[in-house]
Structures are given as structure tokens and as C-alpha cells.
Amino acid sequence: MLDRRVVVRTLLGGAGIMVLLGLVVGVANAVVLLGGRGAQTDPQAVPHAEAALVLGALVQPDGRPSAMLEDRIRAAAALYREGRVDKVLASGDHGRPDYDEVNAMRRELVRLGVPDDDVFTDHAGFATLDSVVRARKVFNVHSVTVVTQPFHMPRALWLARHAGLTAHGLDAGAGRNYGNQGTVSQAREVLARTKAVGDILAGAQPKFLGPRIDIAGSADASRG
């Protein structure tokens, strides 16, 4: 038979670990939520920035943006039309030929009236950290308006500021129900915020950097 004292110590040890993990997650989320404030829902209320940074999201098999990504694209186009940004930087996953968030964003932005010459494309924005660091180090952006959904915004802004960007946000699709995609994304964000704090503490860097493509130059250099 198991020693009762061993069982009690094991249970207490497990409970202690769970409490510690909960504390780590809670503190990390509080840090990100407090440090990632500064988003608006009205494009006219956002301070002027060099670029709108549109963060990638799911693209359908036929190449159409998902509802979540479509809302981000429309919000970025509204920023451009209102004169709140000079350029749009579409940053997403184009890690394989049959999946391309970036050009899907570019096509839709142009369809919505943003001149193609003002749409820069970042094909290695595989994660939020990659997108914000590459905006600063590869595209030489200093000020951005981050465009994403409200649940994602605090982490995106917090990481952008740690990357050296002057960053504000425009919430896309506030109050919209994205079904399963939205439910999963919101639940995952709790752990994603914790990982973001760990990445900053560990000095994590993007998967790829590469040559400079200055946001003040030609967008053609960013095509891929």
C-alpha cells in the first residue's frame, strides 16, 4: 500500500506547482494587458503614424481572407483613407507556396483603394513578435498603428513597444462574433501573453530578418 504521507506530499506538491503556474500566467497577463493599452475603434482618433501594421490571420484555401483578416484589412484601408498613416505594411505567413496571407492582404487593400505603391509586404511575419521586430529592423519603421482584433491588441502593442516602435492601435471588428475561430483565438491568447513575456525576457528574435527594405523607399523591394 502507498504510504499516506507520500500521497499527501505528492498532492500538496502538485497543488503548489499548479498555484505557481497560475501565478505566472496571471502576472504575465497583467503585465501585457496594462502595458498594451492605447487602442481606438475610430480611425480618426488614432495619432498619425508612418505605417499601419496589419497582422496576418487565416486565409481560406481559395485565397480569400477569413472574416477576421478581412476586418483587419478594412480597418487599415480606413486609416489610409483618413490620412492617419502614410503606408500600409501587411505582415503575415507566406512560408510555403500554397499558403499566402500577405498577397491576399495586398490584393484586398488595393481593391479598397490603397495605392499598390504604398502597400509594403512582409512575407516572414510568422508570429506577432516577428512582425513587430521586422517592422522596426527590416522596414525601418519608427511609428505604427497596429491593426488587429481587440483580444490580440494588448499583446501586439506590448511587443511592438518592446521592439522600439511608437505604437498605437486600431481595433478591427470590435464586438463581432467570429465563431470557433474567435473562441479558440481568445482562449489561446491567455497563454500567448505568457509566452510573449517569456520571449522578451529570453531576448527572442524573429525566424528571419534579411536585407533592409525601407518604408520610405519603394514597395517593389518587398514583393515576393
Quick: pLDDT tens for 159-213: 999 999 999 999 998 888 888 777 888 889 999 999 999 999 999 999 999 999 9
So what's the pLDDT on residue 177? 85
- What would the grid cell of residue 171 be? 481595433
Does pLDDT of 7 surpass 60? no
Does pLDDT of 1 surpass 60? no
Give mean pLDDT, residues 1-23. Answer: 66
3-state secondary structure of 111: helix
Q: Dump pLDDT digits (tens) for 119-159.
A: 999 999 999 999 999 999 999 999 999 999 999 999 999 99
User: Quick one: which of 121, 207, 139, 132 has its CA closest to 169?
Assistant: 132
So what's the pLDDT on residue 174? 80
Does pLDDT of 14 surpass 80? no
Strands 119-122 and 143-148: unpaired
**Sequence spans of domains, the chain:** 32-222
Does pLDDT of 20 surpass 80? no
Matching CATH number, 32-222, of 3.50.50.60, 3.40.50.620, 3.10.180.10, 1.10.3860.10: 3.40.50.620
End-to-end CA distance of the chain: 66
3-state secondary structure of 138: coil
At position 149, the amino acid (one-letter code) is: Q
State the number of CA atoms in the 13 A half-sphere of 20 facing the CB: 6
Reported as a pLDDT band with limits 50, 70 and 90, residue 19 is low
State the number of CA atoms in the 13 A half-sphere of 26 facing the CB: 6
Does pLDDT of 27 surpass 90? no
Tell me the pTM. Answer: 0.90
So what's the pLDDT on residue 89? 98
Q: Dump pLDDT digits (tens) for 47-82.
A: 999 999 999 999 999 999 999 999 999 999 999 999
